[in-house]
Structure 1
Amino acid sequence: MGRYRPPRPRSSPYITPEGWNRLNQELDWLWRVRRPEVTQAVSEAAAMGDRSENAEYIYGKKQLREIDSRIRYLSKRLDALTVVRDRPADPDRVFFGVWLDVEDEAGETARYRIVGADEIDPAAGWISVDSPFARAALGKAVDEEFTVPTPHGEVVYFILAVWQDPPMD
């Protein structure tokens, strides 16, 4: 009996040009470099004889399935994504792809970039446009406040700065 997992909600189909390039490079690397390497290793392992007890063959086939799965996912996802290249008319407002500095009620500051769901990187401060934080911040301007619902209650943030390009500091 399998474990049922309900389908995940659809994420926004938006991505930055850098994110699209990164996914496209991963797809190219998997297809041109990684898959041929693993295919060669599986062929060599298969030539050794009994495949049912050949761990290298079994593991190689498993790797090929994972690579093929990722290639299928990336191919479909790249076709479905919309690259957002246009800059907003008002450079002081929070929109997709911008960097922003915020301050919370306790005086703690943080820097975030609002990106597509395929690009999130919490360590770098890249958050999904689908996150509650980004949804609350979108459309707000510098010196405005916005409220983010959290499991521990609502948190109010104040927008200190907004950049279109990576901030230099």
Structure 2
Amino acid sequence: MSTPLITEQGLAKLQAELDFLWRTERPEVTKKVTWAASLGDRSENADYQYNKKRLREIDRRVRYLRKRMDALKVVPYSKEQEGTVYFGCWVTIENEDGEQKKLRIVGYDEIFGEKQYISVDSPMARALLRKHVGDEVVVRTEAGEFYWEILAIEYEQ
């Protein structure tokens, strides 16, 4: 299981998704199901079947979000974090070949759809935590060892 940490922005994004699903999308789909059901034979009614399936998907996601959000712990920004890699920071790194990456260390629930976000549970994040600008980091994975240097650390406030 992933570490139940999340940034304030990540929690706000999950809350917005939950609000949209519950207050906007679910009522619309419910109306469509009711309308399609009123047409009669449901076994051959594609509108009914599709929207009923979508309603189940929405309900499943709403249940998951409510349960998950109760378990998450928001990690707020603190001025004491400046200059050190901690949860929620943006870190710019460079490897031996001169390839640079800018990554943000966040909770598991925040990484989906965000190419620059990495989970705090990932080998890269574990190697970077508590390091400073100029430190060299060894990231150990199943594919081998990779060496990176920390160029910059930034926090969103």
Task: Indicate conservation of the 8 Å contact 1:121/1:127, yes or no.
Answer: no
Offset at 1:124? Answer: 4.0
Structure 2: how far apart are the matches of 1:20 and 1:145? Answer: 32
CA deviation vs aligned residue, 1:129-151 (integer Å, no higher than 9, x gap): 11110011001111101111233
Counterpart position of 1:67: 58
The one-letter code sitting in structure 2 at the alignment partner of 1:143 is G
Give the CA RMSD over aligned residues. Answer: 1.4
Offset at 1:152? Answer: 2.9
Aligned with 2:9 (options 18, 39, 47): 18
Query: Greater helix percent: which structure?
Result: 2
Which blocks of at least 5 consecutive residues in structure 1 are unaligned? 1-9
Which blocks of at least 5 consecutive residues in structure 2 are unaligned? none
TM-score by length of 2: 0.95
The one-letter code sitting in structure 2 at the alignment partner of 1:147 is V
Aligned with 2:100 (options 105, 109, 116): 109
The one-letter code sitting in structure 2 at the alignment partner of 1:77 is R
Offset at 1:88? Answer: 5.6
Counterpart position of 2:32: 41
Offset at 1:106? Answer: 1.1
Task: Indicate conservation of the 8 Å contact 1:35/1:64, yes or no.
Answer: yes
Structure 1: how far apart are the matches of 2:134 and 2:82? Answer: 13
Q: Alignment partner of 1:60: what SS?
A: helix
**Aligned 1:1-169 pairs, distance under 5 A:** 10-87=1-78, 89-121=80-112, 123-165=114-156
Structure 1: how far apart are the matches of 2:79 and 2:128? Answer: 15
Offset at 1:122? Answer: 6.6
Task: Indicate conservation of the 8 Å contact 1:87/1:164, yes or no.
Answer: no
Residues 139, 67 of structure 1: CA spacing in aligned structure 2 closer, same or farther, 3 A cutoff?
same
The one-letter code sitting in structure 2 at the alignment partner of 1:19 is G
How many residue pairs were aligned? 157
